[in-house]
Amino acid sequence: MHNEPLAFRMRPKTIDEVVGQQHIIGKDTALYRMISKGHVPSMLLYGEPGIGKTSMAYAIAGTSQLPFIALNATVSGKKDVEDVVAEARITGKVILFLDEIHRFNKLQQDTLLPHVEKGSIILIGATTENPFHDVNPAIRSRCGEILQLNRLEPQDLVELLRRALHDEHRGLGKMTIEMTDDQIQKIADGTNGDARKALTLLESVISASDDEDGKIVVEDWLIENLIGRIGLVGDKKGSHHYNLLSALQKSVRGSDVNAAIFYLANLLETGDLVAVSRRLLVMAYEDIGLAAPEVGPHVLAATEAAVRLGMPEARIPLANAVIEMCLASKSNSAYKAIDAAVRAINEGKTGDIPFHLRDTHYAGAAALGHEGYRYPHDTPIGSFGGWVNQQYLPDKIQNEEYYEPVIAGEEKRLAAIYERLKEFKKEK
């Protein structure tokens, strides 16, 4: 009877045994050829849990036949790093696999980095967080490759599960197991590209199945019961959470209702209602904007209702808000206008406020020349209200324009007013 979990036992021993990730380690890639010829570069492996970062590191070590040391940055100390350095001095070269590398502290880096730089330590770092956000630049600069791993496809997981069922040494091959192709496919489809979950689920299913005269018979209901809730769900603070927020916003911006609802559901499963509500409110003004100005207040009401209701009821007003935003006319003109103005200010394109616009609520304002302002409401212009032709921007930038209307929805009417007022100014 094995003591180690099936997922641990089935880790690939060479790069030829790696399942999936062919864009990184396939036989037609440069990395495969380099490793096959004995050259292993330092690298960072980035991706979600369970998609093969640790397995790939072990496979690379197995192929290269170099000494291999695995550490986890969350629990390793300076002494662990010094031991790796000592091993490198003895053997001449060692592969260090460092899991959760984004948690590596400065003291550990200072001990390790010179040896990585000269090549006596080959660093393979693994992280679930975006390395460009969370990995120290000193580490990144010494890793020639930053490789983003993808979730495994169902066919990859089917291959892995079959391998585990037939492998007599590391897998379940010595057991007589009655399991259909459909059942294997159900596990592959239900574990969302996560090899560790797929193998763990397979092991759990086998353990829970009835043994009938030395034959283990797997039943459908058992698989369905053990699969449980497995989705894109991540934690509230990780990179994947921000990827979900980004995917939600881009789906709404692209008017894809089904994708937006899908990402909203995943975000709500993390329980971070505040972050989701905040992003939806920003989207209402950033992406919908002046084309449908009524959407902003609608989304505000929906997010306030969601916070008051809490989960699971909060999903209902938020779903209403997301669908309305998806199908609303869209404009980013206000967002672009304010950014253009901020950019201009930061570039020094500014000037003095015209005298007639300055504060006059004190004695002596006229003596300073703060006069001449004309009150627009005193000059009605059709149904618009009131307007007078006077300068508002500073002299140096009086002809600058930051706002460019988008001809969509309600903004089409606003754009017509904007253009007409510009014509009035030219008649000065």
Q: What is the CATH number of the domain that holds 121?
A: 3.40.50.300
Whether 96 and 30 map to the same domain: the answer is: yes
> What confidence tens digit (pLDDT) does each residue in 411-421 have?
999 999 889 88
Instruction: Please check whether residue 332 lies inside any domain of the structure.
Output: no
Is 117 a member of any domain? yes
Strands 68-72 and 94-99, how do they pair? parallel
Position 339 in a domain: no
pLDDT surpasses 90 at 387: no
* Domain closes at, from 227, 253, 271: 227
Range of the domain at 398: 350-426
Q: Report if residue 14 sits inside a domain.
A: no
Is the per-residue pLDDT at 228 higher than 70? no
Q: Answer yes or no: are the C-beta atoms of 252 and 267 closer than 8 Å.
A: no
Does 61 map to a domain?
yes
Give the model confidence (pLDDT) of 66-85 as tens digits: 888 888 888 887 788 888 88
Q: Is the domain of 221 the same as that of 244?
A: no
Specify burial of residue 121 (Cβ count, 10 A radius: 0-12, 13-18, 19+).
buried
Residues 163 and 211 in one domain: yes
CATH for 174: 1.10.8.60
Q: Report if residue 37 sits inside a domain.
A: yes
Task: Please tell me whether residues 134 and 50 are part of one structural domain.
Answer: yes
207 located within any domain: yes
- Tell whether the model's pLDDT for residue 235 goes beyond 70: no
Q: What is the model's pTM?
A: 0.60
What CATH number is given to the structural domain containing 371?
A: 1.10.3710.10
Token pair, residue 400, equals 């600058």
Q: Give me 399's structure tokens.
A: 């002809």
Confidence at residue 343, expressed as pLDDT on a 0 to 100 scale: 93
For 246-278, write each residue's pLDDT tens digit: 999 999 999 999 999 999 998 888 777 888 999
What tokens were used for 143? 């890793």
Q: Which of 192, 227, 262 is the last residue of a domain?
A: 227
> In whole angstroms, what is the distance from residue 40 CA to residue 395 CA?
63
Residues 420 and 302 in one domain: no
Cβ 235 vs Cβ 241: under 8 Å: yes
In this structure, are 246 and 172 located in the same domain?
no
Q: Which residues pair with 105 in a beta bridge?
A: none
| Residue 83 shares a structural domain with residue 122 | yes
* pLDDT of 287 strictly over 70: yes
Which contacts qualify for 216-225: CB closer than 8 Å, 24 or more apart?
216/175, 216/176, 216/177, 216/178, 217/178, 218/177, 218/178, 218/179, 218/180, 218/183, 220/183, 220/186, 223/183, 223/186, 223/187, 223/190, 224/186
pLDDT tens digits, 337-377: 999 999 999 999 888 888 888 888 877 778 888 888 888 88
| Same-domain status, 27 and 144 | yes
> What's the total number of domains in the chain?
4
Report residue 40: phi and psi, to 5°.
Answer: -115, 115
Closest CA to 208 of 184, 192, 224, 194: 224
Calculate the alpha carbon distances from 301 to 249, 272, 288 in Å.
19, 18, 16
On whether both 204 and 309 belong to a single domain, the answer is: no
Which one of 227, 262, 277 terminates a domain?
A: 227
Helices then strands, counting H and E runs in the chain, come out as: 19, 8
210-212 and 215-217 strand pairing: antiparallel
pLDDT value for 232: 47
Do 175 and 96 fall within a single domain?
A: no
Same domain? 130 vs 190: no
Same domain for 396 and 293: no
* Residues contacting 266, CB < 8 A, separation 6+: 231, 232, 233, 244
**Cα–Cα distance between 224 and 219 in angstroms, integer?**
9
The C-alpha torsion from 280 through 285 and 291 to 297, rounded to 10°, is 70
Residue 359 CA to chain centroid, in angstroms?
47
